[in-house]
Every structure is written in C-alpha cells, then in structure tokens.
Structure 1
Amino acid sequence: MLRIVFFKIFIVTISFLGMMACQQQSQQQLPYYNTPDFTPHFISNPDDVERKITHQIGAFSFTNHHHQIVTAENIKGKIHVANFIFTSCGSICPVMTKNMYKVYEAFKDDEQFAILSYSVTPWIDSVPRLKKYAAQNNITSKNWHLLTGDKVKIYDLARKSYFAEEDLGFTKDSSDFLHTEHFVLVDASQRIRGIYNGTLPLEITQLINDIKTLKKGEE
C-alpha cells in the first residue's frame, strides 16, 4: 500500500515538473506579429513561421546623424528596435530617449543589434540637428542610428511595416502627424516580435529581456 502511495506521488511530481517545463518554454518563446492589430502568433516550427508569418519590415533608405545612408541591407541578419521621435518634442520623446538609452547600454557593443530612431519631423531634423541631439544624449555607439529623410517614406514605413500606431495600422496617411510612444522589436529575419510602451521602465526591462531571449534562440 505504501509503495502505491509513493508511486502516485512520484507520478504527480513528474507530471507537475513536466507541466512547469512546458510552461517555462512557452513563456520564453516570443510571439510573431503579422497584422496591425498585433494579434500574437506563437509558432516554434521554422517551416510554419515561413508559411504563416508573411509580414516583414520593408525596404528603406534613410540618412543617419553621421550623414551615412542606412538601408534595410545594413540591418539584415540583425535584431533591431525601432521608435519614432523628433528632437523638438518636449513631451514623451525625452522620456523615450532616456529609456532607449537603457537598451543601448545593454547592447552597445553588440554588432548584431541595432537601434533605429526615425524622426517624424524630418523637414526639421536635419543631419546636423540629429548629430547635436545624439551628443546631448551621449549616443556614441555605431549601432544607434538617428534617421532622417523623406517624410512620406518614413510615415509609410512606420505605419505599414512597423505598425507603429498599433491598431491604427496604416489607416492614416502622411498628412496625419505620427506620434507614438511605441518601441517595436524586430528579429534578424525582419519580423515583428514585440511592442512596448517606451515611456514605462518596466516595459523597457521586458524589452531587454526579450532581446536576450531572441539572441539565445539564434545561438
């Protein structure tokens, strides 16, 4: 009788540990986002990813604060985080830049990681102005790019590729001002893996952890 009781306890313990392991694995897996409403898709099979996740960041070409052309080819094979700011913003942008700096510090020496901060007032944010902004915020690493260029192209990329305004998606056009607190995490295959409120420290901590999770998956 005693042996039966111990056997049952053993079975329950093994089942519990198995369940916890599966739960932990599920928690470590980041979802894919395929549509502007940010419906999460948890997929582990690479073939299923290729078949089901059709959305990727589109081609682009903009100028950074070092007066260098940055294109989609430059970040090919790299994890990157994108956000949308303007240097004259006195509301959420300073907070976002301060929080993005935490991400920058965590990965500033990582050549397989990049930060792309697109200006939403590119007609104001010239290269010299972005360079000054970078100096004011101690942005010295080569993997953080403050980008300027054609307004229509930036807004189009933001809304159609990054789904920058979440549920708004690409329902607006370039005549509507783009202003969002979102940070968008993109994997090395240029697929969206996370969206975060760039004004909240807890979300920045989660973002950093999620980047580490992505990097582990690529080792």
Structure 2
Amino acid sequence: MKKSHSYIGLSLIILLFGIFFIPKIVDRLNNEEVVTSDRLNVEGSEKVGNKAALTYIKVNGERKKAPAFKLINQEGDTITNKDYLGKVYVAEFFFTTCPSICPIMNKNLVQVQEEFEKVENFGIASFSIDPSHDSVEVLKTYAEDKGITHENWNLLTGEKDDIYGLANGGFNIYAGENEAAPGGFAHQGLFALVDKEGYIRSRKDKQGNPIIYYRGSVPRDKIVKPGEEEPQINILIEDIKKLL
C-alpha cells in the first residue's frame, strides 16, 4: 500500500512538472534565452553579434558615473553633463598649447569624429586643463585649426579648480600643473567612454579585467614594436558602436 502511495505521489510530481515547467523551458529554448540569461549574463553588458560585451566600471560595488559639470564651450554656450544624456560620448583632458600628446589625441579624435559624423547621439567632451589661457576665442580657433566640426564636440573651459576636480576626482584621469612637464602641465593621454545614461564603460582585457580607459596618445596608424603601447582608437570606435 505504501509503494502504491509513493508511485501516485511521484506521478503527481512528474505531471505537475510537465504542466508548469516544460512549456517554459521549451519557450526559452526557442528564444535562445537559457544560455544567455542564466549562464553568461554580464550585468548591463551590450552584445552585438559575437563581439565582446562591454562592462561597467565599479567603485565599492557601485557603477561609476561620469561626474556632473557646467562649463563654457568654444561657441560661448553653457554646456552641462545633461546635454550628453542620451548620447554616447568620449571625454578627454587636454590644453591647446600642449606640445606633446594632445596633438596626437585630438588627431585621433578627429578620426573618431569622421566615423560618427552624422550620428546625432554621439559626442565628445574635451576639457581644457589650462583654462586661464584657453578662452572661448582660443578654443574656437583651435577647433577650426584641428578640423573639429561635429555639433556635439565641445571644447570646454571654466574654473581651474572645477576642471581639475573633474579630472582627478570625477573621471580619475590625472591632470596637474608641472613646470617640468612639456607645456607646464602633466596629464594622462586617456579617453573615457560614457554611455547614454552617463555611466563610464569599457571592454575587458585578455585576463577579463576592465581596461577602464582607452589610450588616446598613440597614433591610430602606428606600427608597434615589441614592448610598445598599441593604438586603441580602433577598439574605441568598435565600442562606441556597441553602445550606440
């Protein structure tokens, strides 16, 4: 009698499983959701075809957002971080009289600009770390000389303390005055990639760690020798397309 009851119970469990769970599994298999959702889900990642997903940059477990700002661009207009919401943008720190890496960085960004010339939800934010010299007029002339034409590429100036706070405390891309450095300022030739919601994003390296920032001071077409830094403009362009 006990065996009869156990068979009945087992049959009931199997019946319920068939009624409630099998249709859901079949449906998810048909929609290719089982593997991507249950096993390989990277939080917030974008996957385009078979290309590698992008990741968020996290600090103390929290997704890192690009800092808020309110500055003046080369046209004399007030630009804030809110103007970039809904856009994918690249952020850099530079100065117009830089004799070393800035010309390379902005030549690279002009090439990025050309890739997204007609894309309205793409932009670039170039923060001057020498605002006492880089006035609106100076920035406008610099933009004309360098071929900066995208309507969402803003060369930004303002209070020095505000800009240095954005660099060192906001984006964590170092910038500082240094008499020994070329042009009197030390800064990193790095680009930050920001998504439409204002979060800093990047791809991962071969070890699975976020690269965090993209090297902007290496010419895109450089022939790299062993031990030298490789250009990252091509992968930056790829990753912008993913976020777009």
Would the TM-score normalized by the shorter structure come out above 0.5? Answer: yes
Residues 112-144 of structure 1, C-alpha deviations (whole Å, 9 max, x = no match): 111001000001100000000001011122111
Separation in structure 2 between the aligned mates of residue 26 and residue 154 of structure 1, nearest angstrom: 39
| Residue identity matched to 1:206 | I
**SS of the residue 2:63 aligns to:** coil
CA 1:189–1:136: 2 relative to 1, 3 Å: same
CA 1:79–1:182: 2 relative to 1, 3 Å: same
1:109 is aligned, of 118, 138, 154, to 118
In the alignment, which residue of structure 1 is the partner of 2:77?
Answer: 68
- 8 Å CA contact retained: 2:171, 2:192: yes
How many pairs does the alignment contain? 173
Kindly indicate whether residue 198 of structure 2 is the aligned counterpart of residue 190 of structure 1: yes
Structure 1, gaps ≥5 residues long: 1-17, 37-51, 166-171
Residues 56-115 of structure 1, C-alpha deviations (whole Å, 9 max, x = no match): 122210000011110011111211100011000010011111011111111122111110
The percent identity for this pair of structures is 39
Separation in structure 1 between the aligned mates of residue 232 and residue 66 of structure 2, nearest angstrom: 22
CA RMSD of aligned residues (A): 2.4
Kindly indicate whether residue 176 of structure 2 is the aligned counterpart of residue 147 of structure 1: no
Give the number of the structure whose alpha-carbon radius of gyration is greater.
2
- 8 Å CA contact retained: 2:56, 2:200: yes
TM-score normalised by length of structure 1: 0.72
| Residue identity matched to 1:203 | Q
Kindly indicate whether residue 157 of structure 2 is the aligned counterpart of residue 157 of structure 1: no
Kindly indicate whether residue 55 of structure 2 is the aligned counterpart of residue 31 of structure 1: yes
Separation in structure 1 between the aligned mates of residue 170 and residue 54 of structure 2, nearest angstrom: 19
**More contact order relative to length (CA 8 Å, sep ≥ 6):** 1
CA 1:135–1:198: 2 relative to 1, 3 Å: same
Q: CA deviation at 1:26?
A: 7.9
**SS of the residue 2:187 aligns to:** coil
TM-score normalised by length of structure 2: 0.65
In the alignment, which residue of structure 2 is the partner of 1:15?
Answer: none
In the alignment, which residue of structure 2 is the partner of 1:39?
Answer: none
- 8 Å CA contact retained: 2:48, 2:242: no
Separation in structure 2 between the aligned mates of residue 58 and residue 199 of structure 1, nearest angstrom: 23
In the alignment, which residue of structure 2 is the partner of 1:95?
Answer: 104
**SS of the residue 1:105 aligns to:** helix
Separation in structure 2 between the aligned mates of residue 78 and residue 24 of structure 1, nearest angstrom: 18
- 8 Å CA contact retained: 2:56, 2:201: yes
**SS of the residue 2:97 aligns to:** coil
In the alignment, which residue of structure 2 is the partner of 1:7?
Answer: none
Separation in structure 2 between the aligned mates of residue 199 and residue 157 of structure 1, nearest angstrom: 20
Deviating 4+ runs (over 4 angstroms): 22-27, 174-178
**SS of the residue 2:232 aligns to:** helix
In the alignment, which residue of structure 1 is the partner of 2:217?
Answer: 199
Structure 2, gaps ≥5 residues long: 1-34, 41-46, 179-184, 203-212, 221-230
